[in-house]
Amino acid sequence: MFKDLFTIFIASAIINNFVFTRYLGLCIFFGVSKKMETALGMSMTFTAVMVISAALSWLVYNLVMLPLHIEFLKIVLFIGIVAGFVQFADTLLKKLNPTLYYKLGIYLVLITTNCIILAVPLLNTDNNYNFLQSITLGLGSGAGFSLALIIMASIRERLELANIPKPFQGMPIAFIVTGLIALAFLGFSGMITI
Amino acid sequence: MAASYKKLILNGIFSENPVFRLALSLCPAVAVTTSVRNGFLMGVAVLCVMTMVNITVSILRNLINPKVRIPAYILIIATYVSITEMMMRAYSRTAYKQMGLYIQLIVVFAIIISRAELFASRNKVLPSAADGFGMGLGFLGALVLVGAVRELIGKGSIAGFHITASSPLLIMVLPTGGFFVIGLLMGLFNWIDQRYYGGRPGGGGGGHH
């Protein structure tokens, strides 16, 4: 049982890393990886939202949608769950802990329409995971995304000072750097198959 | 009038190309473009969803309360994406297996919601349809171009027809190749822009959502 969960965690964090092998969440990945500080804030918020939305959507899918045979509505419902939860967390955080809200609030808004957050529940239902497995997939994906963001942020802080040809400044060079990191991550492929 | 529709469509294809100029919705542009065929299928799906969403939003623009417009747009998009996903699952099993997840994720494409918000909610039905169609075509074109480059270099073929005897550079069809191709093509577009049209450096959108 724990071996199984550990496999899912490692597989989703490193081997099937969302950014480098599945190309999801690129918008946020390129958007917030310019500075280490924002990258760290984003990774923490992201992981928390991911785990909780994986848990919530598993409950809704298995307790509501399956008994009622409305699986075909899963896209609509999952995005509703994520958006609703993010809005709720936003309001709650503003009331309970304003300092933390001013630090992380901006990321919460960005998260609502992010591909990874929606992809985790969809993958969970595609693979028929149970509750613990779903949460582990959310946690592993969050850890993988944080790892990607931190690697990228530390490289991009250096890139600011580098002498890059004019047409490649900004996004193009960021893409090429990501390609190089993805090449390194390719070395993990085939280590575990799920 | 006909000329302005043409302008709207061309705007989506060239000057505001979603992938290379606005740098929006990059995830699928890299994910599914290992071949021309996959890129084409994904592009067609987005083209249909985008045109229909723009038309629907434009028809309903006076009925939707501005306060709840974003959730309303997301619901409209999710409906059309569900239809597209079910059609694809019914008619094209093999393609669905490869890119089903990405088809479902069309729902969070920034490009669709931004066109609904920026254009369709303020314009009449026909211009909105033209705008959605043009943007969709620009997206389709970009995906096919990236797919063609990756398939040619990675497998030595274009749209399934073999051109070279072996696979020249297998890495291009692997995940990492997609990043290289998009980065290089973006650089090329920027270079053309700066060289011939006097564009600013550091283009390619700036990486916003």
Test the B interface: residue of A27, A118, A123 with most B CBs within 10 Å: A27
Strands B157-158 and B161-162, bridge-based pairing: antiparallel
Long-range pairs of A32-35 with CB within 8 A, sequence gap ≥ 24: A32/A107, A32/A110, A32/A149, A33/A149, A33/A152, A33/A153, A33/A156, A33/A174, A34/A153, A34/A156, A34/A157, A35/A153, A35/A157
Confidence of residue B204 (pLDDT cuts 50, 70, 90): very low
Q: Answer for the pair B106, B45: CB distance below 8 angstroms, yes or no.
A: yes
What ipTM describes this predicted complex? 0.76
Residue of A nearest to B114 (CA): A113
- Tokens 């969403």 label which residue? B53
Is A1 in a helix, a strand, or coil?
coil
Query: How distant is the Cα of B75 from the closest Cα of chain A, in angstroms?
Result: 7
| A34 located within any domain | yes
Confidence of residue B202 (pLDDT cuts 50, 70, 90): very low
Residue of B nearest to A111 (CA): B209
CB atoms within 10 A of CB B64: 16
Q: What's the whole-number average pLDDT of chain B? A: 78
Q: At residue B209, does pLDDT exceed 50?
A: no
Test the B interface: residue of A32, A85, A166 with most B CBs within 10 Å: A166
| A91 located within any domain | yes
Is B183 in a helix, a strand, or coil?
helix
| B77 located within any domain | yes
Query: Looking at the 3D structure of chain A, how many domains does it have?
Result: 1
d(CA B90, CA B160): 23
Confidence of residue B2 (pLDDT cuts 50, 70, 90): low
Q: At residue B91, does pLDDT exceed 70?
A: yes
Q: List the one residue out of A137, A153, A118, A152 whose CA is nearest residue A6.
A: A137
Within 2-41 of A, beta carbons closer than 8 Å to B belong to: 20-28, 30-31
From residue B48, alpha-carbon distances to A118, A185, B33 in Å are 21, 35, 18
Whether B101 sits inside 8 A of A179 (CB atoms) is no
Test the A interface: residue of B19, B24, B27 with most A CBs within 10 Å: B27
Q: Mean pLDDT per 10-residue run, chain A (194 residues)?
A: 82 82 78 80 84 89 84 82 81 80 71 77 84 89 90 87 81 86 82 64
Q: Answer for the pair A107, A45: CB distance below 8 angstroms, yes or no.
A: yes
Q: Answer for the pair B59, B173: CB distance below 8 angstroms, yes or no.
A: no
| B203 located within any domain | no
Question: Which domain range does residue A79 map to?
Answer: 16-188
Query: How distant is the Cα of B131 from the closest Cα of chain A, in angstroms?
Result: 22
Of all residues in chain B, what percent carry a pLDDT higher than 70? 82
d(CA B23, CA A109): 20
| B162 located within any domain | no
pLDDT at A12: 82
Q: At residue B73, does pLDDT exceed 60?
A: yes
pLDDT at B205: 43
Whether B74 sits inside 8 A of A126 (CB atoms) is no
3-state percent helix, strand, coil for chain B, nearest multiple of 5: 75, 0, 25
d(CA A11, CA A137): 9
| B4 located within any domain | no
Q: What is the rounded average pLDDT of the residues B95-113? A: 79
| A98 located within any domain | yes
Is B68 in a helix, a strand, or coil?
helix
Residue of B nearest to A118 (CA): B105
Within 40-99 of A, beta carbons closer than 8 Å to B belong to: 72-73, 75-76, 79, 83
Query: Looking at the 3D structure of chain B, how many domains does it have?
Result: 1
| B204 located within any domain | no
pLDDT at B207: 37
Question: Which domain range does residue B15 map to?
Answer: 9-22+29-157+169-191
| B50 located within any domain | yes
The count of CB pairs under 8 A between chains A and B is 137
| A193 located within any domain | no
- Tokens 């072996």 label which residue? B166
Q: Answer for the pair A189, A15: CB distance below 8 angstroms, yes or no.
A: yes
A121 touches chain B (CB under 8 A): no
pTM: 0.79
pLDDT at B199: 59
Residue of B nearest to A24 (CA): B27
The amino acid occupying position B119 is F
d(CA A153, CA A52): 26
d(CA B153, CA B171): 9
Q: Answer for the pair A13, A116: CB distance below 8 angstroms, yes or no.
A: no
Higher pLDDT, B28 or B200: B28
Q: What is the pLDDT of residues B139-193, one digit of tens each?
A: 888 888 888 888 888 777 777 677 776 767 777 777 778 888 888 888 887 788 7
| A143 located within any domain | yes
| B88 located within any domain | yes
With a CB cutoff of 8 Å and minimum separation 6, the contacts of B124 are B58
CB atoms within 10 A of CB A51: 20
d(CA B87, CA B80): 11
Whether A31 sits inside 8 A of B179 (CB atoms) is no
Nearest to B179 among A115, A119, A175 (CB): A175
Q: At residue B4, does pLDDT exceed 80?
A: no
Residue of B nearest to A168 (CA): B187
Go through chain A and tell me how many residues it has: 194
With a CB cutoff of 8 Å and minimum separation 6, the contacts of B118 are none
Q: What is the rounded average pLDDT of the residues B67-74? A: 79
Nearest to B202 among A118, A169, A183 (CB): A169
Query: How distant is the Cα of B74 from the closest Cα of chain A, in angstroms?
Result: 8
